[in-house]
Amino acid sequence: MTFVLNITMIPHWRYYLLRIILVICVLFQLRNLKRYKVERTRKHNEASTYLESDVCSDPITRGQLGTFHLCEQAEQIVNETPTVAAFYDLLDDWYPCGHGRCDAVRDWVYANIYVLMIAIGLLLYLFYIKWMDYHKMELFARMTLPRNLMNKAEHVD
């Protein structure tokens, strides 16, 4: 009895695994979209209530507060629908610098700059040692006599 391996059978499990992972990712993104929409709807309602309060509706009180009031931020929140704002938050999840990730990495690098410089210095030193070892072995290989000439040595008179 001979077992013949069919090449087309091997990748099928990979495609199923890829589809399962894709479905799981989509479900997680839908969950995050729902969370963001609930949060943005709450903020939208709070901003609407704040805009209707006497702080923003009374021009005298608004003028006395100067730049301290939050009416402009509330107007920006109200101008954007909660669904669109939730979608932007979802896109911000996929952006590499979204949600302040680049700022956090920059702060970590600034906090650990000495350790990173020492690590880079050690790596460069190891690279230099290996490079010198490679060149030493290459020079050693060039200084040896050719081995094929030993068998073909003939004496000519």
Chain position carrying tokens 């690590």: 119
Q: Does residue 121 contact residue 75 with C-beta atoms inside 8 Å?
A: no
Q: What is the pTM of this model?
A: 0.61
* Residue-wise pLDDT tens digits, 44-57: 999 999 888 888 87
Q: At what angle are helices 82-94 and 10-52 packed, to 10 degrees?
A: 140
pLDDT for residue 129 is more than 90 = yes
pLDDT for residue 145 is more than 70 = no
Task: Name every residue whose Cβ is closer than 8 Å to that of residue 91 and which is 6 or more positions away in sequence.
Answer: 98
